[in-house]
């Protein structure tokens, strides 16, 4: 995906974002492990791949160096009467040596554009409440979405949604369930 119209493209002229390829997986496992400082997120990706639950995986490259990854799987939104499916971003990882250079931002922007182009109206995530609002993510609970990541009366700002199509808000509400593999992370 081209980033020609973004500030990031000027700051990182050699950055390319493309779909994950099977040959990337060993490097991605090491990158994700290093980025999180533990193996659980890499195992999560392996399970999503094995169960064909990985909707999309973008990788970021600087020259030939694989420096980042953003994965998307589908969540189920259940309002008690019907079940809808929307994408969720998780995990996203950038090589520790390359963090704070705009690579993660470029991955998020690419994912938002891809999900919008695919016709999805919402994109969910569980993440840092001060980082993701710059991309249009807002707390999901006030918009009518609950999750196992939100306990009654507890903090909820980390469970967020980006509204890619305003018309969807009138018809989608309910409890958001991530793939079972997320319970193991």
In-domain check, residue 25 = yes
pLDDT at residue 84, rounded to an integer: 85
Confidence of residue 180 (pLDDT cuts 50, 70, 90): confident
What pLDDT digit, counting tens, does each position of 28-75 carry?
Answer: 999 999 999 999 999 999 999 999 999 999 999 998 899 999 999 999
Of residues 35 and 148, more confidence is placed in: 35
pLDDT at residue 154, rounded to an integer: 65
In-domain check, residue 149 = yes
In-domain check, residue 63 = yes
Separation of alpha carbons 174 and 46, rounded Å: 28
Could you count the other beta carbons within 10 Å of the beta carbon of residue 37? 8
Hey, which bits of the chain come out as E strands? Answer: 15-19, 54-62, 65-78, 83-94, 122-126, 137-139, 145-147, 159-163, 174-177
In-domain check, residue 157 = yes
In-domain check, residue 185 = no
In-domain check, residue 2 = no
What pLDDT digit, counting tens, does each position of 70-122 carry?
Answer: 999 999 998 777 778 899 999 999 999 988 889 999 999 999 999 999 999 99
Of residues 52 and 155, more confidence is placed in: 52
The domain tally of the chain equals 1
The domain that holds 99 is classified in CATH as 3.40.630.30
In-domain check, residue 116 = yes
In-domain check, residue 1 = no
User: Which range of residues forms the domain containing residue 163?
Assistant: 7-180
């Amino acid at each position: 995906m081209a980033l020609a119209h973004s500030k990031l493209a000027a700051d990182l002229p050699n950055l390319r974002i493309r779909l994950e390829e099977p040959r990337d997986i060993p490097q991605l496992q090491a990158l994700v492990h290093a980025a999180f400082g533990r193996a659980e997120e890499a195992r999560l990706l392996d399970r999503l791949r094995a169960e064909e639950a990985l909707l999309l995986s973008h990788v970021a490259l600087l020259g030939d160096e694989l420096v980042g990854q953003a994965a998307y799987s589908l969540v189920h939104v259940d309002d008690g009467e019907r079940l809808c499916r929307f994408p969720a971003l998780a995990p996203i990882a950038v090589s520790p040596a390359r963090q704070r250079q705009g690579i993660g931002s470029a991955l998020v922007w690419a994912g938002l554009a891809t999900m919008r182009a695919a016709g999805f109206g919402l994109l969910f995530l569980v993440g840092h409440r001060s980082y993701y609002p710059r991309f249009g993510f807002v707390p999901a609970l006030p918009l009518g979405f609950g999750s196992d990541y939100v306990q009654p009366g507890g903090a909820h700002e980390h469970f967020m949604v980006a509204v890619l199509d305003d018309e969807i808000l009138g018809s989608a509400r309910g409890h958001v369930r991530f793939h079972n593999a997320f319970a193991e992370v």
